[in-house]
Structure 1
Amino acid sequence: MSASSEAQLGARIRDQLKADKQALFDAFAAGGQVGTLLSQLRRAVDIALVTAWRELSLPEDAALVAVGGYGRGELFPHSDVDVLLLLSREPDADTIERLERFIGLCWDLGLEIGSSVRTVEDCLREARQDITIQTSLLEARLLTGDRQLFTVLREHYLAELDPAAFFQAKLLEMRQRHAKYQDTPYSLEPNCKESPGGLRDLQVILWMTKAAGLGDSWKELFQKGLLTQREAQELSHNERLLKTIRARLHLVAGRRQDVLVFDLQTALGEAFGYRQNANKRASEQLMRRYYWAAKAVTQLNSVLLLNIEALLFPSESKVTRVFNERFEERQGMLEITSDDLYEREPRAILETFLLYERTPGIKGLSPRTLRGLYNARTVMDARWRNDPENRRQFLAIVQEPQGITHALRLMNQTSVLGRYLINFRRIVGQMQHDLFHVYTVDQHILMVVRNMRRFAIVEHTHEFPFCSQLMASFDRPWVLWVAALFHDIAKGRGGDHSSLGAVDARRFCKQHGIAREDADLIAWLVEHHLTMSHVAQKQDLTDPDVVHAFARTVGSERYLTALYLLTVADIRGTSPKVWNAWKGKLLEDLYRITLRVLGGARVDPHSLWSQRKEETIAQLRLMAFDPDLGKPLWAQLDVAFFLRHDSRDIAWLTRHLYNRVDSDTPVVKARISPAGEGLQVAVYVKDQPDLFARICGYFERKAFSIQDAKIHTTRHGYALDTFQVIDPRISGAAAGQHTGSQGYRDIITLVEHELAERLHTQAALPEPTQGRLSRQSRSFPIKPRVDLRPDERGQYYLLALSANDRTGLLYAITRVLARHRVSVHTARINTLGERVEDMFLVDGSRLAADNKLQLQLEQDLLDALAI
């Protein structure tokens, strides 16, 4: 065929294929079935490939074979088209040239071709070495060409296929894939194909059963007894939903796209007909439906995998323990003694998990038990929830001294937890679009329970020693597990979830006969679970009024300890990026000073000043440093300085500044932060209006994240400012490797030199960088907010800011303050994932006298936040 004829052929096939695909897309968008779309897309591509093969007169003793998903007989809108060009012998030059023309023509048709050219021997050799190739050949389908050659391949392939070895290899591959996605279907941006509970999990089951000759459809597995009819229907329904999601995702994205990224979730939800309502976005409604489907797939996959394994690896399954007439242990698994146990005795449902907790050595629930729980959902109704015996058993589950986290997670996986706590069921699979939670609400709650439990486990005391110490002496710690279980249970209902959750918690306590004293604590913890983090991260802990107000809120040491433990567990359960050592220090400082107030101590500024000086003198003597040398420096510092810095900080600053009190050049000192992560940087220099902005500009340029800033002006006009900063690159690289401190030590000298040089030159402030918002922030923008109001004494103004985080944001804020000559007294920088909530205490002398300045400052800050 001439080049021009081949070009005409390609154009004709391409136009026809394009028209066929568009017609199928339109029909699907108009409400067509996904099965029809996938099979008809496959058929349209079949016709195009066969036409091209035949028109190019490829060898008669060769075959064109569809493999992989395309071989299975379905094709998603923008999926690869995997084909095998099967040859009877090694190709000569003419054959190679014709095959290359065919593959080139396929690409010209607009197909994402994945091709391989092999003989039968090549295929068998590669399949022995690579489980992926072995799997793709399992679903091989002849398109055109030498049928006998294809038959030879199938016969030899099946003769070599070892179902047991294939099962083991695919099971290992699946576990590795699940680990890549953190073993959870509840990622906020899941891969609908590869994540746990996605389409690949369903395909793996059918590959295993097809290799074992057990069937390659849910109907066949039902007929072979591996599934009940209801389970087969559930799997078919959820598979159809996942395929529909993937197909619509391809069409919305206009490309092959399997990750449900934030950018596309709203458009995808609207393609399903969801619309935003008062409580939920279209994306949230879609994702909740996805999570429920993925959860059901995960549950049924567990049952099927165990059943297939039992068939492929038959062994004498002896009962090793009999617990009672309802339960026994078989091969380390807890098994029910009859399939209809839960229908006959619904009370046995919760007994399952109580027995699981109390029995050392039990590895999990058997397929028979899992299936029984899955099919017993209809009996878990209001009558079952209100049964006094079930209430007794559930309370016993959360009061057990061990196994609570595993039991609750297993109850959630099997849908029992949501059936028992009906309000918990409402938050299963519910997303949280606050840009710092990385888990759905139900998974976050269980993560908080897990964090609380780890405080009580000896093997984990090294993680949070102070929390473990407090937990060890906390009476009836199970009340904390209950509070953790309810703290976010009212998310997504509208209104204050803390107050609504407290009502749910109190009702639970009443129904389960929990003593008034414990019920009051549980409900109070749920209602106030955000209070301590708010005070610690947003208020001035050196202000006696702040501490006394918080002490009045908690009222007692038991309440304070409970709230502290819940707060630490809660923050750690939001996202690995949100918790850091500095936040831990702020919470611990607030706990300790409040404990002293509850013990009768008064937070008196003058007594604290004297105490802090004495502690500092003791620190200096331990360093073999004469405290008298620090007196010239201390004479320039007021009471506020001693209140806002602890004795270790004052001693450190004194050692480095005692002989440079009147220095003409900037002094910058840095050290590993006493909080345990990052650097503490001190700046001592003659005060200047734009100093804070200049320092922030340096940290922004170095990509450091400022955690806290303490700004102080001495009596003789010097700025003595201290900053807590972290480098996300060092902290991230050091996660789990204990190399962070060394990474920070390596940059101390550089930071000291560069920052001092920048302050000395006093060059004009550069324009702030136009940092780009992250993809998540663009998808869920936060309306910028500026709140400027005088404090109770009128001396300062409180400036609260919230917005989406981006590179250069803090510098842009401080530059605005510098331009208006508004001095910063303290700064509390609070980054919550992709959101910032910063608090500044600024000098109020100019603001109080000029209302126009206040309005202009607020507007300029809003403009800076909105860029």
Structure 2
Amino acid sequence: MTASTVTLPPLPRLPVAVPRSGVSSEARRALRQLLGDLDRAIAVAFRDGADASELARRRSDSATRIVAHVWTACLGDVADAALFAIGGFGRGLLFPYSDIDLLALVEQPDAARLRALEQCFATLWDIGLKVGHAVRDSAQCRTLAAAEASVFTSLLDARRLAGDAALDARLRAIVDAPDMWPPHDYLLARLAERDARHARYDDTAYNLEPNLKDGPGGLRTLDSLRWLGKRLAHASDFPDMVTEGLLDPAECDTLLQAEATLRRYRFALHLEAGRPEERLLFDYQRAIAARLGFEDEHEKNLGVEQFMQGYYRAASQVERLGIQIAERFEEMLEPPSAVQPVGADFIRYGARMAVRDPDLFARRPSALVDIFIARLDEKGVIGFTADTMRRIHQATAALDGRLADDPQVLASFLRLLRRGAPAVDALWRMNRHGLLAAILPAFGKVFGRMQYDLFHVYTVDEHTLRVLRNVARFADPVTQAEFPLACEVWTTLPKPEVLLLAALFHDIAKGRGGDHSVLGEEDARAFGNKVGLAEEDIERVAWLVRWHLLMSTTAQRQDITDPDVVHRFAEAVGGRERLGQLYLLTIADIIGTSPRLWNAWKDRLLADLYTATRYALRRDAKPSAGAAVRAQSCREQALALLVADGKPAEAVVRIWDTFPMVSFLRHRPEQIAWQTTAILQGEGKLPLIAVNPLSVRGSTELFVYAPDRDGLFANVTAMLDRLHFSVMEARVLNSPDGKAMDTFLLLEAETQKPATQERAEELHQRLQRALAQSAPIMPSRRSMSRHLKHFQMTPRIDFKQSDGRTQMALVCSDRPGLLAAVTQVMMACEVRVHDARIATFGERVEDFFQLTDRKNAPLSETQQRRLWQALTERIGPQSLSA
């Protein structure tokens, strides 16, 4: 059944209201029943495919009749008093749970009239209408409208429902007064409101739980464009703006189609939530997707992802056109400027560029790219003229399907990329005009594509553009303090276009099914050949796309202090230039995925892997020094540090006699020196706790030196959980004389930053007291966040035997106190932990442990099955309801 064949619920038939008789109890019950029947009929019509805008208008028309009926019954046909609908109701739209905003314009608000108004509004509430109302006279309206742009804006939509018709003119006189928010002032006010509103929603349309009404690209943006059209150009709707030259027909159609999508989603959201909810929360996304008929295509293109892609595309189109139309309004109000030439093809009027020849883009499509290149060289240019923006859109639409294969267009595009970092700003602007997707059709396919998880907080296209912007930051001297190594590496890149192309293509195959890195590599090769890139550069781009996750997975999931790990990574990378490109792409990718993912620990981790790999790539570097040689080198460096600090060498050596050799393999000399100093200062008192607020690894380092006992590791993790620390890495070692030597790298759970001095001292004291007692420490019980509850998965647990230990890989959903719960299970299963690598990706955790039984032997198959079952029961989705 199509929307055109669905019968809309009829408008309510009401008896003629008896003026000033009030609404009886029986009549109120009848009105409540009528409203309930109407809302149920509207919900059924929507389910059957009726158009959301038509249903919102029908609901508004019905409410108009009921409100007018109640007004007449309570006030009658009074002079100098009228009731106006404002807000969405004023525009003739009411969604299922939208408020009804009313303005009572009353010139003589005597006591009797105020009592009647009170009765009117109380009746409306009683029958089930959520009413927001204001009572003012025309002088108050004028004063408030002059003081606040929001009040003035509300009057633009005012629609009289009942009462004295003469008050229409009084309200209109306020809105039409020349001194009431002149066009330039009103434009500035609306832009300021837009910026403030966007800032509340992270300044992006791509939030995981976007606000359909007030977020960037939401329905409020469309309302704002109409308000600007009314005030600045006497154009009350988008077709009128086409007549005024502010929009072309294609842009008008785009806005109307996007608006239809947003209204449909908002209608479904209200029905699903059962309240005036405006955010597409995870709680509702899957259910609404199913309600609207979206189905899973495959595991990498879920129905909910298709549903959200519809939102992101609509919101992005609204946001882009909204920015451009606002720029056109600004241009419309600017005084004319003298013409200045910009090369052979372009000119500028003040701060805006234009084409000399109106037919340039049709005659030479490569000029579509060239104008963005020219803009890079023109200081003070803030945009293109309205006519030029329109011509860019029209040419892009007319040439769609041809730009991607036009040799001259591709040559200009490559010339732009060879500008390096400045090219990124041009790419952002080309994307806003739809040109980037026209040149790279594969990029158009990921436009608005989301991934249903908490790790990727932006759509693929938005993420890609942010990665490009992060790459460009490495060329900016201002970021030298934040990214000193990355900025240094950037200066060594001979061809920045290689890295820019890799950033463009690294996620371009998301959502197709299969490995997006492999598919993206194929796309990158094809594009490189098409634009005439040198064969060696094509190989570089393709390799970076194929292996863009290699560095982050190696750093976070493997022990990069192990030379064998570093050498395997170095062999995979193969050269220093490729290493530098991968290092920069990895940092840009992590930050562009979610700003919360980047922290000092990851910064240090990647820098360490980069530095170690550069050394390994030297021609004279040996594949791997023997363990004894590496341990001896660490001892010598640590001893030199300690002696330089005034520590007696004999005392140091005596302590080291009780250290296992693996300490000198798994720790840096600086760490060994710090641990040794702590033991010397402890003077034999155990348990010994040492905390370094900011260690060389970009995190807070905790060292626990105590008599070894089963459950020690579990107790420490439980206390860290209580104190809200995240464990990034754990090393659990045992000395020959029976002491545990456990090292933890920590970050604050909330901020993902190292601890302050005060927090480090708190950790020291609390853990010292806890470990001095024999009682087990239980993790704190904290409720799971609403977000995490929607992304719980059955744990995936894999075991394998290696070097006399059992390696366990745990992939599961994150939750508060997860590591503490895991270690509690291990303790109950009589399993010892010897090493741990902790990695969290959004809602997904990937932890790696080295385990043995209580006799330090690998786990048997029976023990593995027992541990698997216990972990699955403790941390699986079913445990949430236990």
Name the TM tier (shorter chain).
Answer: over 0.9
Aligned residue number for residue 774 of structure 1: 785
1:56 partner amino acid: C
1-structure distance, mates of 2:76, 2:767: 71
The match for 1:823 is: 832
Structure 1 letter corresponding to 2:558: Q
2:774 is matched with 762
Which residue of 661, 669, 684 maps to 1:639? 661
Task: Tell whether 2:688 aligns with 1:667.
Answer: yes
1:841 is aligned to 850
Is 1:612 the counterpart of 2:631 in the alignment?
Answer: no
Corresponding letter in the other structure for 1:501: G
Alignment-mate amino acid for residue 231 of structure 1:
E
CA apart distance, 1:528: 1.1
- Bigger CA drift: 31-40 or 670-679? 670-679
- Tell me the equivalent position of 2:646: 624
Which structure 2 residues correspond to residues 468-867 of structure 1 after superposition, within 5 A?
468-599=487-618, 600-602=620-622, 603-604=624-625, 605-658=627-680, 660=682, 662-663=684-685, 665-675=686-696, 678-729=699-750, 731=751, 744-766=756-778, 768=779, 771-791=782-802, 793=803, 795-843=804-852, 848=858, 850-866=860-876, 867=879
Q: Are the counterparts in 2 of residues 333 and 363 from structure 1 also a CA contact under 8 Å?
A: yes
CA contact (8 A) 1:71 1:139 kept: yes
Q: In the TM superposition, what is the alpha-carbon distance from 1:393 to its structure 2 partner?
A: 0.9
- Is the contact made by 1:773 and 1:804 (CA closer than 8 Å) also made in structure 2? no
* Compared CA separation, residues 518 and 307, structure 1 to 2 (3 A): closer
Deviation at 1:557, TM superposition (A): 1.9
Confirm whether residue 238 of structure 1 aligns to residue 258 of structure 2.
yes
The equivalent of 1:47 in structure 2 is: 65
TM-aligned CA distance change 1:78 to 1:473, over 3 Å: same
For each residue in 1:473-528, what CA deviation from the matched residue of structure 2 results, as whole angstroms up to 9, or x when unmatched?
23223211111111111111111111111111112222222222222221111111
Runs (5+) with no aligned partner, structure 2: 1-18
Contact 1:581 1:675 in 2 (8 A): no
Report the residue type matching 1:801 in the other structure.
Answer: L
Q: Select the residue among 171, 180, 194 that pairs with 2:214.
A: 194
- 1:301-336 CA-to-partner distances (Å, cap 9, x unmatched) read 23322333333x241232223321x32122222212
Q: How much has 1:98 moved relative to structure 2?
A: 2.6
Q: Percent identity at matched positions? A: 35
* Distance verdict in 2 for CA 1:608–1:37, change over 3 Å: same
- In structure 1, distance between residues paired with 2:595 and 2:239: 43
1:662 Cα shift?
Answer: 4.7
State whether residues 331 and 386 of structure 2, in contact with CA within 8 Å, keep that contact through their aligned partners in structure 1: no
Partner in structure 1 of residue 144 of structure 2: 126
1:737 match: none
Residue of structure 2 equivalent to 1:735 = none
Contact 2:798-2:808 within 8 A present in 1 as well: yes
Where does residue 10 of structure 2 map in the other structure? none
> Which stretch has the larger CA shift, 338-347 or 521-530?
338-347
Amino acid in structure 2 at the alignment position of 1:693: A
Deviation at 1:699, TM superposition (A): 0.7
Q: Which residue of 2 aligns with 1:309?
A: 330
Provide the secondary structure at the position in 1 that maps to 2:269.
helix
CA distance 1:364–1:847, change in 2 (3 Å) = farther
Q: Within 2, Cα distance between the matches of 1:166 and 1:679? A: 52
Report the AA paired with residue 542 of structure 1.
T
Deviations 1:43-86 (A, max 9, x none): 11112211222222368132111111111111111111000122
Q: How does 1:354-393 map to 2 (within 5 A)?
A: 354-393=373-412
The residue type equivalent to 2:102 in the other structure is: V
The 3-state SS of whatever aligns with 1:375 is helix
- In structure 2, give the amino acid aligned to 1:614: E
CA contact (8 A) 1:163 1:208 kept: no
> Which stretch shows the higher mean deviation, 476-485 or 144-153?
144-153
Q: Does the 8 A contact of 2:852 with 2:859 survive in 1?
A: no
Shift in CA distance, 229/682, structure 1 to aligned 2, threshold 3 Å: same
Return the alpha-carbon distance in structure 1 between the equivalents of residues 152 and 861 of structure 2: 76
- Cα deviation 1:544-578 (Å, max 9, x = unaligned): 33222222211222222222222122112111111
Shift of the 380–847 alpha-carbon distance from structure 1 to 2, 3 Å rule, reads farther
Preserved contact between residue 246 and residue 386 of structure 2 (Cα < 8 Å): no
SS in structure 2 opposite 1:577? helix
The verdict on how the C-alpha distance between 1:357 and 1:402 changes in structure 2, with shifts beyond 3 A counting, is farther
CA contact (8 A) 1:788 1:858 kept: no
Look up the equivalent residue of 1:748 and give its one-letter code. Answer: A
Give the Cα separation in 1 of the matches to 2:519 and 2:248. Answer: 40
What is the match of residue 138 of structure 1?
A: 156
- 2:242 aligns to what? 222
Q: Give the 3 Å change call, closer, same or farther, for CA 748–765 of structure 1 in structure 2.
A: closer
Aligned to 2:437: 418
Once residues 283 and 370 of structure 1 are traced to their aligned partners in structure 2, the CA distance between those partners, rounded to angstroms, is 34
Question: Contact 2:96/2:271 (CA < 8 Å) preserved in 1?
Answer: yes
What is the TM-score of this pair, normalised by structure 2? 0.93
In 2, Cα distance between the equivalents of 1:138 and 1:332?
32
Q: What's the counterpart of residue 736 of structure 1?
A: none
Change (3 A) 1:138 1:319: same
CA displacement at 1:813 relative to structure 2: 0.3
Give the counterpart letter for 1:511 in structure 2.
Answer: K
Displacement, 1:115?
0.7
The number of aligned residues is: 851
- Secondary structure, aligned partner of 2:812: strand
CA distance, structure 2, for counterparts of residue 192 and residue 5 of structure 1 = 37
Matched residues in 1 for 2:665 and 2:284: separation?
Answer: 50
C-alpha offsets along residues 324-365 of structure 1, whole Å, 9 cap, x if unaligned? 1x3212222221234443233322112122222343333223
C-alpha separation between the residues in 2 aligned to 1:337 and 1:76?
48
Q: Residue 17 of structure 1 aligns with which residue? A: 35
The 1:620–1:609 alpha-carbon spacing in structure 2 relative to 1, beyond 3 Å, is same
Aligned partners of 2:836 and 2:850 also within 8 Å: yes
Q: Letter of the aligned partner of 2:651 in structure 1? A: L
The equivalent residue for 2:427 is: 408
What is the distance in 1 between the residues matched to 2:462 and 2:233?
38
Amino acid at match of 2:365: P
Report the alpha carbon displacement of residue 461 of structure 1 after superposing the two structures with TM.
1.2
Residue of structure 2 aligned with 1:461, choices 480, 487, 492:
480
The 2-side partners of 1:610 and 1:801 are apart by: 34
Measure the CA separation in 1 of the matches of 2:156 and 2:676: 75
Structure 2 vs 1, CA of residues 848 and 555 (structure 1 numbering), >3 Å: closer, same or farther? same
CA distance in 1, matches of 2:485, 2:174: 65
Q: Distance in 2 between matches of 1:586 and 1:162?
A: 56
SS at match of 1:212: helix
Q: Distance in 1 between matches of 2:468 and 2:766?
A: 45
Q: Of 81, 84, 87, which residue of structure 2 is paired with 1:65?
A: 84
Q: Does the CA contact (< 8 Å) of 2:723 and 2:763 recur in 1?
A: no
1:783/1:379 Cα in 2 relative to 1: closer, same or farther (>3 Å)?
Answer: farther
- AA aligned to 2:142 is L
Q: In structure 1, give the amino acid aligned to 2:714.
A: A
- Kept in 2: contact 1:678–1:727 (CA 8 A): no
Mind listing any 5+ residue stretches in structure 1 that lack a counterpart? Answer: 733-739
Residue 847 (structure 1) shift: 6.2
Shift of 1:865: 2.0
Change (3 A) 1:544 1:234: closer
Task: Note closer, same or farther for the CA distance 1:390–1:134 as it changes in structure 2 (3 Å cut).
Answer: same
Deviations 1:443-481 (A, max 9, x none): 111211222221122221111101111222232232111
Q: 1:847 to 1:96 in 2, by over 3 A?
A: farther
SS of the residue aligned with 1:548? helix
Closer/same/farther in 2, CA of residues 594 and 35 from structure 1, 3 Å limit: closer
